[in-house]
A and B are shown apart, each in its own frame.
Chain A
């Protein structure tokens, strides 16, 4: 998006037009796409500089940087689309260090023949998500691949942010006795995506939980700066996120199934497809590990925020050289929540 502002005699036909190879060719067509679509919605002084890079001043302190590639089918789903997801995903990766996210870059890989109207919808939703998260999209890139070489559109976003002084959040800091908290119901995003896929169609009122969590994190660390670990349980779900933390910290975990919030509709969809909600992706939830003395304060801070209304303490960190994540089941037995094998597939048996 390194184009200077210029005028084009015939405007892009966004309603009926399609992406063609010239939109990635570096010529006038690309400049027009950038001007009339990306700049229009992402508008900010950094992009307006019209350079191949964004130049900005940084505060003293520690910065974090994260990158996330976004591919999703379908591109539009109840509760979001690939555009908003591309912002939320990277903002959340940055925020899980306790950082305040500042800027994003966005790289688009678009398939030849992709409707401009769909691209506009995506760019618009991305711009709104960035505005809501108080981040600016300061640099971008567009490539077009031949028809058949992509699945509509792929978006890679890189984010940077600044960590406030005194915050030390890392996956290797969980200690025995620490409490494990989740910020809300699990599995909403994954089940929404599955319900809108061809062949698996079922009707449900569930929508994706896709959201930027930086505000929730800020409220949390404001109340409890001593938070030890934060992670957003995306692919692989809660079970995977907790296994990662247990492994990194060399500890075990002991959860209580009854305490883990899952919507009835998510449970029902999982029964139907033979899936486990604890392994299903989330895009607007976090899991927090904090010292036991601060657990109630952390829970209260999360619950006071709209994105953390259903937060719950679900278990505690244990001493365990095998780094097992265990769960006391509703039923009264014990179960090991292992790493996910392969991917979660709907099954008949």
Chain B
């Protein structure tokens, strides 16, 4: 696969490994947070941590829109499918996300709810066209990467006067969340967050560009390197972060130049601006209420807004007691620091946001990293 395989080459990886080992100052620690689950996935899937010197560590952030979706919004969607009897179209990722009371859309589907998995908003529109007598609701989730596809669907629905179609909007914004990680009141309670630099999102940045991170790097004096999701991208970006830290710089650099520009995709930005407004605040699972961190559908599209079309009460379902997700999401604790991890909280029975999606920090750690220590011990013993 062109532009995939080249960025997974082992010979290049070992060269980058040597360059990183040479650049990393043995007298200091480099704690690098990847905000995105995509980076977390690449790190575990390819074993990138094994190629890093001991003083370079990855801190896994909150960057997965499925993980951060609050329980109350899942409860709202369940109500739409069960009480309002709509055809609820969802991305596959949402099927297993727990709502309150140990329910999930998978269980709703099993008990007769009309929940359908779609690959694209185009599929959801087609389901609405094919079922003119039924209400069809698309459960929209995702960061800036996924939002434009929902905008296109809303615009098409309006153009076609597809009045049995509506969108339950849960699109959230990346920069607001990164900012929250560094400066919310909880951070003061948890203690200072030990993060030296950030891997900037790759596909989010393909839409919003690298410019939005410039304020952030300046304000918090932390370097940001926008990095692709392939393992070599992550390694090269780590090297760039290490060099910035060595030089005492805190700039926004772009490693993912094959896709990301400073301005981003302006056509997509325009579509999003025409279709959505900023919400004053939105609840993130694990982070709580984050100001100006999500989008709502504009009033001119209210016909296609499930929140005006149906009764969608604000539900605040509290997160599970003892769950360390708030600290883990902010890089102040590791999955293994949580009392629930691998005891009652597992991918089959997730309790907190970080275990919910396969790209959450806890789930990724559970699947790929859990036995790293015990494994290397037993190898040594054998």
Contacts and interface: CB of A to CB of B under 8 A. Distances in A.
Interface of A: 176, 199-200, 252, 264, 267-268, 271, 273, 318-322, 324, 326, 329-336, 338, 341-342, 345-349
Nearest to A268: B1
Closest 7 CB pairs of A and B: A333-B47, A341-B347, A345-B92, A331-B46, A333-B50, A319-B382, A334-B47
B142 A349 contact: yes
Given A324-B375, A332-B13, A338-B370, 14 more contacts: A199-B116, A320-B379, A322-B378, A330-B10, A331-B8, A333-B49, A341-B363, A341-B367, A346-B117, A347-B91, A348-B146, A349-B64, A349-B65, A349-B359
B8 A330 contact: yes
Contact of B1 (A176, A271, A333): A271
A345 B347 CA distance: 14
A338 B231 contact: no
Nearest to A338: B367
Contacts of B8: 330-331
B10 A267 contact: no
A335 B146 contact: no
Interface stretch (B37-45, B296-304, B306-314): B37-45
B47 A318 contact: no
A268 B4 CA distance: 10
Contacts of B111: none
Contacts of B368: 335-336, 338
Contact of B347 (A267, A320, A321, A342): A342
B55 interface: no
B93 A349 contact: yes
Contacts, number: 116
26 contacts: A199-B117, A264-B1, A320-B378, A320-B379, A322-B374, A324-B371, A329-B46, A329-B47, A331-B8, A332-B14, A333-B50, A334-B47, A335-B45, A335-B46, A335-B368, A336-B372, A338-B368, A341-B363, A342-B347, A345-B92, A345-B93, A346-B119, A347-B357, A348-B92, A348-B142, A349-B146
B95 A335 contact: no
B382 to A, nearest CB: 4
Given A332-B47, A347-B91, A349-B359, A271 B4 contact: yes
A259 B240 CA distance: 33
Q: Is the interface of A mostly helix, strand, loop or mixed?
A: loop
Interface in B329-382: 346-348, 357-359, 363, 366-372, 374-375, 378-379, 381-382
Nearest to A273: B119
Q: Is the interface of B mostly helix, strand, loop or mixed?
A: helix
A72 B119 CA distance: 20
Contact of A348 (B17, B48, B91, B374): B91
B123 interface: yes
A195 B192 CA distance: 49
A332 B348 contact: no
Nearest to B89: A199
A322 B119 contact: no
A25 to B, nearest CB: 28
Nearest to B36: A349
A348 B348 contact: no
Nearest to B17: A332
Nearest to A318: B382
Contact of A322 (B13, B17, B371): B371
A335 B1 contact: no
A318 B357 CA distance: 31
Contacts of A324: 371, 375
Interface in B101-129: 116-119, 123
B378 A338 contact: no
Nearest to B66: A349
A236 to B, nearest CB: 14
A333 B46 contact: yes
A303 to B, nearest CB: 26
B51 interface: yes
A199 B375 contact: no
Nearest to B7: A331
A319 B379 CA distance: 8
Contacts of A346: 92, 117, 119
B96 interface: yes
A42 B129 CA distance: 45
Nearest to B381: A319
A338 B366 contact: yes
Contact of A199 (B1, B66, B118): B118
Contacts of A268: 1
A268 B381 CA distance: 39
Contacts of A319: 378, 381-382
Given A200-B119, A267-B1, A329-B47, A347 B93 contact: yes
A199 B92 CA distance: 12
B44 A335 contact: yes
B231 A331 contact: yes
Contacts of A338: 366-368, 370
